[in-house]
Amino acid sequence: MLGVHNGAYHYVARVTAKVDSRECSEALWGQDDGGRTWQLMYFLDRPKEINIPYGSLVPDLPAGYQGFFKPSAASLAALESKYGSVDAFVEEKLLNANTSLPCFLVRSNEGTDYGDQIGKIYAYSSTVPNYTKMANGANVVVDRKTRDGVRLLGWGGWG
């Protein structure tokens, strides 16, 4: 199970059990105005927090989602063929992704012509020594030098 919103994967968990019981779901949640209930229930292990942009896992996973989504048998077979198993894909691309992706440091300087806005816009150009074009899915750390030393402004995924 993947928890996704705002263009990124935020949680991954294993489905440990499924129960299809109208009686149980009605006892827990009742019915909607149309007399319906969500009777297929999933039990999960403790979700692990991740932060991976959708685009970094294309073509293995879709570029976006709406509502509940179950991968097709063909999609699961493709993951198994490429990674050996769905579990191996989850381990490599989701659970270990934040440590295996490149990490970029962006220095945001106050009072520059770039118009940096904390939490919104950070710019740099090829005049910066040792600059590298950032790759989608990479991790980014943004800092700023102050009189009190270097301060972390934020971090997250790129792309």
Q: What is the pLDDT of residues 10-50, one digit of tens each?
A: 899 999 999 999 999 999 989 999 999 989 999 999 999 88
- Final residue belonging to a domain, choices 64, 98, 132: 98
pLDDT tens profile 58-74:
889 988 887 778 888 99
**Cβ atoms 80, 86 nearer than 8 A:** yes
Q: 28: helix, coil or strand?
A: helix
Considering the domain architecture, whether residues 21 and 82 belong to the same structural domain is answered as yes
Same domain, residue pair 30 and 90: yes
Q: Coil, strand, or helix at residue 132?
A: coil
83 and 133 inside one domain: no
Domain extent at residue 6: 2-98
- Mean pLDDT on 113-136: 67
- Among 83, 98, 113, the domain-final residue is 98
**How many domains in the chain?**
2
Residues 60 and 118 reside in one and the same domain:
no
Residues 64 and 76 in one domain: yes
Q: How far apart are CA 111 and CA 116, in angstroms?
A: 8
The predicted-structure confidence for 70-124, as pLDDT tens digits, reads as follows: 888 999 999 999 999 999 999 989 988 655 556 777 777 776 666 777 666 666 6
Based on the domain organization, do 83 and 111 belong to the same domain? no
How far is it, in rounded angstroms, from Cα 54 to Cα 137? 8
Q: What is the pLDDT of residue 66?
A: 75
Supply the pLDDT for residue 123. 67
pTM (predicted TM-score): 0.56
